[in-house]
Amino acid sequence: ACNGLKACQGIIGKLEAPIVACDGDIACVDKKIVADGGSALATPVENLATCNGKKACVSSNVISKLGRIDCDGDTACKKAGLSASTVACGGKRGCYESIIKQPTTVFAYGFNSIANAQIIGGDGDEEIRALGMNAVMGSTVTTGQSGTTTILGYGFKSLVGAAIKCVGTTTCKITCKMNA
């Protein structure tokens, strides 16, 4: 666990474990973080990478092979590369300007949480829940070649300025509530 101020900054190479926690302020900045608890095991375990400190995991490459990435700190995961089946951006500007690759589910809870980001879908079904104010503002969502992509704009102005590109045979379902 990288829980203190600027924790794990002196580590050279990648941070790898089944659960990687970067909960200190400015922890795990500009690192390769891999949550992998045995994707090759007969019974794989779910993995978790957490970036809950203020400015944790900024400009990092975060991969959770069989699980989830949580970016709940203020500006946590800003300008990061994020790859997991579930990506949750709950902090104010958590995942801001990030690149989210092939998620199944994205939760954008925080203010500007995935604003100005790129979400690049894989083939299959995907869901993006824009629940925070300006959550997906200015972002580009590009679907995979097939499946169904569901975008739920429930937050105040959550989808303002977002570009949604449905490609291939993908079916896009977009729901906007109130003034999303």
Confidence at residue 126, expressed as pLDDT on a 0 to 100 scale: 95
Give the residue from 80, 82, 78, 106 showing the smallest Cα distance to 92.
78
Taking only the tens place, the pLDDT of each residue in 1-29 is: 899 999 999 998 899 988 999 999 999 99
Residue 118's H or E segment, with its range, is strand 118-120
**Gap between the Cα atoms of 41 and 49, Å rounded:** 19
Look at residue 42 and tell me whether its pLDDT is greater than 60: no
Confidence at residue 45, expressed as pLDDT on a 0 to 100 scale: 61
Confidence band of 39 (pLDDT split at 50, 70, 90): low
- If you average pLDDT over residues 81-102, what whole number do you get? 96
- If you average pLDDT over residues 57-80, what whole number do you get? 94
**Gap between the Cα atoms of 96 and 116, Å rounded:** 6
**Gap between the Cα atoms of 55 and 35, Å rounded:** 19
Look at residue 178 and tell me whether its pLDDT is greater than 90: no
Confidence at residue 41, expressed as pLDDT on a 0 to 100 scale: 55
Confidence at residue 90, expressed as pLDDT on a 0 to 100 scale: 94
As to burial, measured by CB atoms within 10 angstroms (0-12 exposed, 13-18 middle, 19+ buried), residue 40 is exposed
**Gap between the Cα atoms of 70 and 52, Å rounded:** 7
Give the residue from 138, 87, 84 showing the smallest Cα distance to 109.
87
Confidence at residue 55, expressed as pLDDT on a 0 to 100 scale: 97
Contact between residue 100 and residue 77 where contact means Cβ atoms under 8 Å apart: no
Look at residue 170 and tell me whether its pLDDT is greater than 80: yes
Confidence band of 40 (pLDDT split at 50, 70, 90): low
If DSSP states are collapsed to H, E and C, what string results for 131-143?
A: CCCCCCCCCEEEC
Give the residue from 177, 59, 31, 51 showing the smallest Cα distance to 110.
51
Tokens of 130: 């824009």
